[in-house]
């Protein structure tokens, strides 16, 4: 479904992705883990064709995604419907006068009939506890409600692939639990980025780790990685700290949330 081969990307001459090789099959639930600045968002943006890799190839369902393909209106239309991305900051995604219009926006853009728009909007608003907020302007929602609204705006399209960039960053523990359950119940391919090690086992089945050198340092089973201190250290996800217990000092590894 998704294939990256030898992908590199840099900003202002500074490499943020190096030799990325990644294949994702339909139905997989991938967690993308890496410390701040390791390149997770950039990788998701490449997958969502918001930026093109400077070197290497991106293939989606057998089609090479490049500059000329992104000028093909039919391809772009179906690609944007099939693959959607939830950004880290919900405010960049919300611009309509009401929550209802926000949910309806992309369906209207894609030419759905108003009756079908209403059906889908009400279905997802109900599933996301947004019914009572439908007439409000989105900026009046709380951070967590905005995040829910952004996600609902994507799911109204009934996409095949959902990319989520640090989706739990603004959520309290209860809403985080709600999101984990939702992702589990959704029967679609998901790629979720996080730097939160403790949430990794909840967010997917396969782990891809971007290391400090901006390349993939691990791709495989989640439990195997979480038992491998050396690999976690190499990815910058573990730190050694000294502690005092009375007069005695000792050191052990920690990970940070
Ligand atoms: N538009 C941009 N212009 C210049 N530099 C950028 C741009 N976007 C990201 N960067 C830089 O690229 C590097 C990787 O950023 P990216 O956002 O992909 O990492 P990340 O792993 O998602 O980080 P975080 O966990 O902090 O969100 C960082 O050093 C960042 O400052």
What is the value of ipTM here, to two decimals?
Answer: 0.96
Binding pocket residue ranges, ligand 1, CB within 6 Å:
11-12, 16, 34, 36-42, 195
For residue 145, the CA-to-ligand 1 centroid distance in Å is: 26
Q: What DSSP assignment string belongs to 169-215?
A: TT--HHHHHHHHHHHHH--SEEEEEES-GGGHHHH-SEEEEE-TTSS
**pLDDT tens, 46-66?**
999 999 999 999 999 999 999
Q: Residue 11 C-alpha to ligand 1 middle, in angstroms?
A: 9
What number is the average pLDDT over the span 223-245?
81
pLDDT of residue 255: 60
Residue nearest (by alpha carbon) to ligand 1 atom 16: 39
Q: Per-residue pLDDT for 166 more than 70?
A: yes
Q: Which of 217, 173, 169 is nearest to 32 (CA)?
A: 217
The reported pLDDT for the residue numbered 29 is 97
206 Cα–ligand 1 center, Å:
23
Distance from residue 195's CA to the centre of ligand 1 (Å)? 13
pLDDT score of 243 more than 70: no
Comparing 87-96, 135-144, 202-211, which segment has the lowest mean pLDDT?
87-96
Q: How far is the CA of 44 from the centre of ligand 1 (A)?
A: 11
The answer for residues whose C-beta is within 8 angstroms of residue 237's C-beta and 6 or more apart is 33, 35, 195, 197, 209, 255
**DSSP annotation string for 54-78:** SEEEEEETTEE-STTGGG-HHHHHH
Spatial distance between the Cα atoms of 160 and 191, rounded to a whole number of angstroms: 11
CA of 193, closest atom in ligand 1: 22
Q: Which ligand 1 atom is nearest residue 210's CA?
A: 21
pLDDT greater than 80 at residue 253: no
Task: Report the alpha-carbon distance of residue 127 to residue 245 in Å, rounded.
Answer: 49
pLDDT of 242 over the 80 cut: no
Q: Average pLDDT, stretch 8-26?
A: 96
Q: Are 192 and 183 in contact (CB under 8 A)?
A: yes
Q: In 3D, which of 192, 210, 109 has the Cα closest to residue 157?
A: 109
- Supply the residue whose CA is at minimum distance from atom 5 of ligand 1: 11
> pLDDT confidence of 41, banded at 50, 70, 90?
very high
Contact yes or no for 57/65 (Cβ under 8 A) = no
* pLDDT recorded at residue 93: 87
Q: How far apart are CA 186 and CA 209, in angstroms?
A: 23
Residue 257's pLDDT band (cuts 50, 70, 90):
very low
Q: In the structure, what pLDDT confidence band is assigned to residue 6 with cuts at 50, 70 and 90?
A: very high
Q: Report how far residue 61's alpha carbon sits from residue 55's, in angstroms, rounded to the nearest whole number.
A: 20
Q: Which atom of ligand 1 is nearest to the CA of 34?
A: 21
What dotted CATH number matches 2-254? Answer: 3.40.50.300
- Quick one: average pLDDT of 159-185? 91
User: Which pLDDT belongs to residue 155?
Assistant: 96
Is residue 82 pLDDT above 90, yes or no? Answer: yes
Average pLDDT value for the chain: 92
Ligand 1 centre distance from Cα of residue 43 (Å): 10
Atom 3 of ligand 1: nearest residue by CA position: 11
Nearest CA-CA partner of 162 in 126, 123, 193, 129: 193
Nearest ligand 1 atom to the CA of 45 is 18
What residue segments make up the domains of the chain, in order of their start? 2-254
104 neighbors 121 (Cβ within 8 angstroms): yes
pLDDT at 248 over 80: no
């Amino acid at each position: 479904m998704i294939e990256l081969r030898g992908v590199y990307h840099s900003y202002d001459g500074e490499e943020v992705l190096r030799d990325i090789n990644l294949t994702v099959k339909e139905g997989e639930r991938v967690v993308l883990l890496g410390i701040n600045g390791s390149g997770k968002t950039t990788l998701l943006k490449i997958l969502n064709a918001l930026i093109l890799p400077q070197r290497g190839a991106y293939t989606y369902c057998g089609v090479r995604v490049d500059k000329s393909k992104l000028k093909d209106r039919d391809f772009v239309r179906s690609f944007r419907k099939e693959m959607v991305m939830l950004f880290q900051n919900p405010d960049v995604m919300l611009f309509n006068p009401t929550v209802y219009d926000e949910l309806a926006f992309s369906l209207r853009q894609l030419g759905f009939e108003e009756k079908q728009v209403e059906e889908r909007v009400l279905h997802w608003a109900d599933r996301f506890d947004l019914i009572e907020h439908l007439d409000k302007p989105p900026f009046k929602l709380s951070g967590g409600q905005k995040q829910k609204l952004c996600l609902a705006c994507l799911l109204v399209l009934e996409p095949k692939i959902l990319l989520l960039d640090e989706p739990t960053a603004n959520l309290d523990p209860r809403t985080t639990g709600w999101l984990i359950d939702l992702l589990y119940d959704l029967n679609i391919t998901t790629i979720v980025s996080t730097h939160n090690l403790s949430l990794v086992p909840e967010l997917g089945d396969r782990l891809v780790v971007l290391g400090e050198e901006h390349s993939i340092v691990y791709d495989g089973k989640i439990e195997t990685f979480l038992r491998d201190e050396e690999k976690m250290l190499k990815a910058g996800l573990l730190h050694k700290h000294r502690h005092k217990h009375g007069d005695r000092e000792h050191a052990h590894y920690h990970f940070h949330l």
